[in-house]
């Protein structure tokens, strides 16, 4: 839990696409498309590597998106391995506002990691 909170502070400060090098020493880079995020489907891409740069293969990654206020159902997605340590999955941001994306990562040896990413200010879609 401590590691997760530390991680959150880093994300708040730096926004998108910053390597996250908290313990355990696995580097998780991420990208969200479209960016800035808006209501609707989003593609989340992670790239995971060991500190020396070697790509992490054979992990499984579950995605979960939550809003900070009560009464919202979380959205779930599974990221598929896409080669070179990349994992890609879909999530739906179902409402404008501030979201947190949780990444539940399980390495091939069974080690579990949790990372989270703040996605603030998801935009409403323009209506015609």
Q: Can you tell me which of 72, 96, 102, 107 binds Cu ion, judged by CB under 5 A?
A: 72
Cβ closer to Cu ion: 72 or 107?
A: 72
CB of 95 to Cu ion, least distance (A): 4
Token pair 């009464």 is at which residue? 71
Bridge partners of 113, per DSSP, are 105
Q: Is 96 in the site for Cu ion (CB under 5 A)?
A: no
On the CB side of 8, CA atoms within 13 Å amount to: 13
What gap in Å lies between CA 100 and CA 79, rounded to an integer? 16
Cβ neighbourhood burial of 68 (10 Å; 0-12, 13-18, 19+) = exposed
Query: How many chain residues are in contact with Cu ion, going by CB under 5 A?
Result: 3
- What's the min distance (Å) between Cβ of 101 and Cu ion? 14
Examine residue 39 and tell whether it contacts Cu ion (CB under 5 A): no
Q: With respect to Cu ion, which residue has the nearer C-beta, 24 or 36?
A: 36
* CA gap 43, 63 in Å, rounded: 11
Under the criterion CB under 5 A, does residue 67 sit at the interface with Cu ion? yes
If the CB atoms of residues 106 and 123 are measured against Cu ion, the closer one turns out to be 123
Note whether 100 binds Cu ion by CB under 5 A: no
- Measure the CA–CA gap between 87 and 48, rounded to whole angstroms: 8
Catalog residues that contact Cu ion under the rule CB under 5 A: 67, 72, 95
């Amino acid at each position: 839990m401590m590691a997760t909170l530390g991680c959150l502070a880093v994300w708040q400060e730096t926004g998108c696409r910053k390597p996250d090098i908290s313990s355990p020493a696995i580097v998780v880079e991420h990208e969200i498309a479209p960016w800035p995020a808006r209501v609707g489907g989003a593609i989340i891409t992670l790239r995971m590597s060991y500190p020396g740069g070697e790509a992490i293969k054979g992990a499984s990654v579950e995605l979960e998106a939550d809003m900070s206020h009560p009464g919202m159902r979380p959205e779930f997605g599974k990221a598929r391995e896409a080669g070179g340590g990349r994992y890609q999955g879909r999530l739906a941001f179902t409402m404008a506002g501030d979201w947190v994306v949780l990444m539940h990562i399980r390495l091939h040896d069974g080690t579990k990691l949790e990372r989270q990413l703040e996605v603030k200010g998801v935009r409403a879609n323009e209506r015609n």
